[in-house]
Amino acid sequence: MWSMIIIIVAVTIFTSTAFSNSGPVYWGGKSASDILLVDSNSPITVTSENLTFDFSKNQIPDHTIHGEVTAEYVMVNPTNESQTVLMAFPFISQIRSLTTDDVRIYADDKLLDYDIYIGDIIRSSATESNKESTFSFTNIVNNITNEPYKAESFAKNERRRLYTFKVTPTTEERINFTVDFSFNHKDTKIVSDGFNRYERKGDEVKIAAWCYEEESLELFLLGKDVDFEVNAYSDGELSEETDLFTYNVTTEEVELESYIMDYIGEENQAANKEMFADSQIYNLYAQSLDELFSHGNGYCVEFDIIEQQHFQRLLTLAYTVEFPPNSEKKVSVNYMTTGTMDKTETVYPLYTFDYILNPAKNWRDFKNLNVKIIPHPDAQYLVESNIEFIKEENNTYTAKLENLPENDLTFTLYSDEEITAIDRLAGDIYNRFGYLTPIVIILIVLTIVTLIIVAIIRKKQHKA
């Protein structure tokens, strides 16, 4: 018996929501290297794929479409040997919004357990070439790893100082608590928490926080220590100094990994906190911290670290399916997805989705792709697609292909049956003027009416 690793890719990005077909891979390198590579010798075939996008059952949260995606494959092991197949299903989502209720994986009728791996952020500003690289099956697979992140600016087990400032106003009046210090970013790295003002000139830094009641503010230092100067003010311009406050500072030695994990554990109280291994969470925030130190000249705030939960990024589900000799399995993945709202060109939102088909070209064979789109009531019409769909009853759209098309699938949903010139004009006006659009439209109408009236009056005067 031998093992095979198969990737089923489903991707959603901020500029468009993307999903993907499957393709075979394997773990490569020595035992110390847990990195996936594309396998071009897989014997597994796919005799059909039924792909359903169902947006009909859900409301629109955060101004975008929310629906269920089901990718159901009939997969065949044509060999005389049993196959233990590790499958993975990459997709793009926000870590914070993902829950265990959103993901269900079946082999026939058996519900499967899975692990989840955290990948890179998907940038909304990506060009088509960057998008192609991001959606490359090989690139997606090669970025899946269990190896710990190696930072340039710190060590995983490095112990450094955590300063905690306990600040208390002595009256009912708020105070603006400030900390001034000087540091060289080559020698010292600083993470702040609780401060909402940051000023910097060279190595000189001033940070501040409004305190209405007792507040706990933190500075976490890596590298050389620094001296702090503490003050307080009664105004936002920091010109009226006050002594109507008390404070004390405590210092403790904290291991960097513990600092990251304890903070994330405290902040991330969402239902998905048990979905990710500690090693994956550490890698996510350690890489973020490393990059923030680089971009911020050695300074960042803890919010910038925790913000990683809210970015659209590549995630990968990994699970195992057993294939007896000469057997057929129905493998399905169900998950909730959130689409993209784009109102930059039209008066009503456009929702664009991609389905990445190119990984399926790595299978021994792939036949019969059946696609079904059930639109949302607020976006009932398929207005753009690079493959031909048939409109069925109740505004359902279907497509049947014997083989994979040459390009990846893309389609767009809209509230009207077509995008008219008036839609695009109104969208352009709204994009330029935002909430002032109704006023602008009224002014335009009044201007046109005025010009017409003036023209009529002049015409009558000319005849007279």
- Asked whether residue 208 carries a pLDDT value surpassing 90, the answer given is yes
Give the DSSP per-residue string, 6-22.
Answer: EEE-----SSSEEEE-E
Average pLDDT, the chain: 82
Cβ atoms within 10 A of the Cβ of 363, count? 21
Q: Which domains does the chain have, with CATH numbers?
A: 2-122+313-414 (2.60.40.3680), 148-307 (no CATH), 421-463 (no CATH)
- Which whole number is the average pLDDT over 88-105? 83
Q: Which range among 29-43, 140-154, 196-210, 303-317 shows the weakest confidence by mean pLDDT?
A: 29-43
pTM of the model: 0.77
Segment 234-260, tens digit of pLDDT: 999 999 999 999 999 999 998 888 888
**Least reliable range by pLDDT among 13-17, 222-226, 359-363:** 13-17
CA R_g for the chain: 28
Q: How far is CA 130 from the centre of its chain?
A: 16
Instruction: Report which residue type is found at 68.
Output: E
Categorise residue 108: left if φ over 0, alpha if ψ from -120 to 50, beta otherwise: left
Mean pLDDT of 153-162: 81
What is the predicted pLDDT for the residue at 182? 97
More confident residue, 51 or 159: 51
Residue 14's pLDDT is 34
Of residues 11 and 188, more confidently modeled: 188
Identify which of 208, 86, 72, 221 has the alpha carbon closest to the alpha carbon of residue 141.
86
The pLDDT tens digits for 397-406 are 999 999 988 8
